[in-house]
Chains A and B, each alone.
Chain A
């Protein structure tokens, strides 16, 4: 069994379980450490707008990203997204996996943070524990 500690930070009005992840991709080349909020209310993993901008992808590179384009509803607003297939996720020395993620193409909110959705937990076959009272959170992967 592997237990990966998850930070609990006070952010934007409440305690959030936050995992530090390094995102990698070959073409376009991406190497990006991010703070991602674990959100069991989100079925999919979504890269936040500011993290997308930190990648410094050109609009041409973004347009060339292969994958399904779709509109998602988030926080009462709508966001156009494109799927990037096979993004590499590395969490410290604990685990490395690949996952299809959604990138925002347009939307109303630049502040949308990066979210690790249920698809991430499902991919790594993990349990997620979050106890805000004791400030304890972790991901547990059973062998």
Chain B
């Protein structure tokens, strides 16, 4: 444990760092995810690899819970098809 941090602080900091790392991995590897069949699906990333995916976010959440994961702490994003343009 890092000096000066209690367990709760440490875990929250680590969770945010993990989220940031997995977020970075997602955007750098989106073509790889498309090739692996995740296009049009929500994908959950943990430790720089996809651990659950589905077209429906609620099913991804359920899959994560079944694995004992807490979705609040994981990076989940939708893999848009190549060429798809989202106007906000």
Interface residues of A (CB under 8 A from B): 9-14, 20, 22, 30-33, 35, 37, 39, 41-42, 49-50, 53-56, 74-75, 110-111, 113, 115
Contacts and interface: CB of A to CB of B under 8 A. Distances in A.
A54 B85 contact: no
User: Which of B19, B71, B80, B88 gathers most chain A CB within 10 Å?
Assistant: B88
A48 B85 CA distance: 17
A33 B27 contact: no
Given A20-B20, A35-B23, A111-B78, A56 B71 contact: yes
Interface string B12-44: 100110011001000100000000000000100
Q: For the side of the interface on B, what is the size category?
A: 20 to 34
A14 B61 contact: no
User: Which of B20, B75, B76, B86 gathers most chain A CB within 10 Å?
Assistant: B86
Given A54-B71, A111-B78, A37 B88 contact: yes
A116 to B, nearest CB: 11
B2 to A, nearest CB: 14
Interface of B: 12, 15-16, 19-20, 23, 27, 42, 56-58, 61, 71-78, 80, 83-88
Contacts of A50: 42, 57, 76-78
Contacts of B58: 53
Contacts of B61: 53-54, 56
Contact of B73 (A12, A30, A33): A33
B23 A20 contact: yes
A54 B72 contact: yes
Given A54-B71, A56-B72, A115-B88, A31 B12 contact: yes
A101 B27 CA distance: 26
Contacts of B76: 50, 54
B19 A33 contact: yes
